[in-house]
Amino acid sequence: MSRKKQADYKIEGTRGIFAYLFGLSGLINILALTGAFYMLQIYDRALTSGSISTLVALSVLAIGLYLFQGLFDILRSQILVRLGARLDTKFAPLTHEVVVEMPRYGYSSAEAAERGRDVDTLRSFLAGQGPIALFDLPWIPVYLLFVWLLHPVLGILTLGGAGVLAALTILAEILTRRHAQTMIKAAVTRNAVMDSNTRNSDVLHAMGMTRRAVDRFERANQYHLEHQTKTSDIGGTLSGISKVLRMMLQSAILGLGAYLAINGELSAGAIVAASIVTTRALAPVDLAIAQWKSVVSARRSYKRIKETLAVLADKGDFIPLPKPSHSLRVDNITTVAPTTGAVLLSDVSFEIKSGQALGLIGPSGGGKTTLVKSILGIWPVLRGSVRIDGADLGQWAEDFYCDHVGYLPQDVSLMEGTIADNICRFAEEPDPRKIILAAKTAGIHELIVHLREGYQTELGPHGTSLSAGQRQRIGLARALYGEPFLVVLDEPNSNLDAEGEEALTAAITAVRQRGGIVIIIAHRPSAIQAVDMIGLVQGGKLVSFGPKDTLIQPKTRPLVVEKSERQPMTSAAE
């Protein structure tokens, strides 16, 4: 997806830590037998011998062991928290890289955000009770063995109880998985509504649609809530059942122990010890059932992070290519909509050379924006190729685009940051001269310096503190920053006044004079004064392409071509 190269996309490599945690859990679980041993010793040794010093010695020993257990427990949870933090540090930026690319492939921003939360989900799971339960589960046999050694019959009873509880955990897994899937989808739908509502705040207010928007959100929220409730019910019910079973088992052990004691097969201390151990043995099962919802979501997040990283790992290395200087060649490209798969553009070919400017005209919905999005690689092309100086678009590393391409999208949306940040494309070491040059070329320098904080003015979210025309001109300055070889402007004059259009024409001329290439989409003729080539895009095809003088006589203005038969055009380049 992305064109940036990075070294390590693997999520593995935590195996060593997991082995260590497993061992640590073993230690904790063995130390958890302290209470039972203490009980055995008190009943069967201290009480029978009546020795206070034995009692004291045993107690001191028990306290020591308890302290160790607590220490290891703390250590284990700290390791898990740090493991989560380490994963977060490593994978959050990588996941974010994919998240920012998702909308280009037709995913909604709610879906993208959902994927962005995967790392969060995994990190908070690791810091919670879930992994502790999972690490304790494999150590249940230690307790079974202990009870077995006290008396095999008690061992069999405990084993039976463990079996029933394990079955409950599996049931939790099966029941939760189905609902969790629906729940995630419902959450995405709800967040999509929320997203679209917040972004249309002005419209909702002006046309009195807020109530309806809230209702729409409420319906989506309700659906999400239903599944949320069901999933929680499953967890709650099963963990209730498991708790009761555990208590019943504890009493059954006491009862059976008493029976064995009456028959002289068991000591009093052993009865109590067995009861304590059985309870402790099965506690992780309770915990696991209660935590199963988070286990399921953590597992899904883990799987998705792996998929996400696999996408990034596909990227090859890029050999740095020289600064482009000759031509842009579009060869038979066909583009389909990322969302619907419908063909939006078919078999478009043309070539423009250094110093030329191409004006793209045509009716709304004809495919002009689609064409430039394909050229810039924003939308992947199904067939064909786009070459700059003969090299296919895919061969350029991300840095290349940053240095040699300028793009002003149709709906200019600036980014959170200062005007200077936006113009220099958030360069780490911005060049003030280049920023001012770009602003001057875009004809916005005067306006910026008149602002109270000049170039350091914060734009706020989406740059909404400026007028549409001002935003568009700052977008133009951003496109011109660093004198890129290819400058693509999608309806740059839609919000411009006469002065802005003059600046635009001058900017196009400047790019041509320094040997760059401009592609400009325009509805009004004023915007394409400075171009020498014209392409008419209609119905997803490049209907005509050629020098402006031969395609358009001065009389035929305005240039917004509603019907293609208006004038004879030279045929489109193959």
Ligand X SMILES: Nc1ncnc2c1ncn2[C@@H]1O[C@H](COP(=O)(O)OP(=O)(O)O)[C@@H](O)[C@H]1O
Chain contacts with Mg ion (rule: CB under 5 A) = 369, 410
556/469 Cα distance (integer angstroms)? 28
| Residue 308 binds ligand X (CB under 6 A) | no
Strand partners, 395: none
| Residue 553 binds ligand X (CB under 6 A) | no
Among 197, 250, 369, 470, binds ligand X (CB under 6 A): 369
Count other Cβ atoms within 10 Å, centred on residue 195.
14
Among 13, 365, 432, 547, binds ligand X (CB under 6 A): 365
> Can you count the helices (H) and strands (E) in the chain?
21, 10
Angle at 529 between CA 527 and CA 530, to 5 degrees: 105
Max CA pair span of the chain: 119
Q: Coil, helix or strand for 552?
A: coil
Q: Coil, helix or strand for 459?
A: coil
| Residue 523 binds ligand X (CB under 6 A) | no
Q: Which of 419, 426, 480 is nearest to 447 (CA)?
A: 419
The mark string for 184-203 relative to ligand X (x by CB under 6 A, - otherwise) is --------------------
Piece in contact with ligand X (CB under 6 A), picked from 92-100, 214-222, 358-366, 431-439: 358-366
Cα dihedral 62/67/69/73 (nearest 10): 160
Residues 292 and 173: beta-carbon distance below 8 Å: yes
The mark string for 473-512 relative to ligand X (x by CB under 6 A, - otherwise) is ----------------------------------------
Q: Coil, helix or strand for 574?
A: coil
The one-letter amino acid code at 553 reads: Q
14 binds, among Mg ion, ligand X, none (CB under 5 to 8 A by kind): none
Hey, what are 297's tokens? 């979501």
For residue 331, which phi and psi values (nearest 5 degrees)?
-115, 105
* Residue 128 DSSP one-character state: S
Sites for ligand X among residues 325-354 (CB under 6 A): 337, 339-340, 344
Piece in contact with ligand X (CB under 6 A), picked from 200-208, 362-370, 411-419, 548-556: 362-370
Q: What's the start-to-end Cα distance of the chain, in Å?
A: 29
Strand partners, 345: 335
| Residue 370 binds ligand X (CB under 6 A) | yes
95/298 Cα distance (integer angstroms)? 15
Closer to ligand X by CB, 121 or 369: give it: 369
516 binds, among ligand X, Mg ion, none (CB under 5 to 8 A by kind): none
Minimum distance of Mg ion from residue 526's CB (angstroms): 18
53 binds, among Mg ion, ligand X, none (CB under 5 to 8 A by kind): none
Closer to ligand X by CB, 293 or 373: give it: 373
Minimum distance of Mg ion from residue 522's CB (angstroms): 10
Inter-CA distances, 99 with 90, 195, 427, Å = 15, 16, 21
Give the nearest residue (CB) to Mg ion.
369
Closer to Mg ion by CB, 371 or 510: give it: 371
Sites for ligand X among residues 100-139 (CB under 6 A): none
| Residue 366 binds ligand X (CB under 6 A) | yes
> How are the residues of the chain apportioned to helix, strand and coil, as percentages rounded to the nearest 5?
65, 10, 25
370 binds, among Mg ion, ligand X, none (CB under 5 to 8 A by kind): ligand X
340 binds, among ligand X, Mg ion, none (CB under 5 to 8 A by kind): ligand X
Closer to ligand X by CB, 310 or 337: give it: 337
535 binds, among Mg ion, ligand X, none (CB under 5 to 8 A by kind): none
Binding site for ligand X (CB under 6 A): 337, 339-340, 344, 362, 364-370, 537
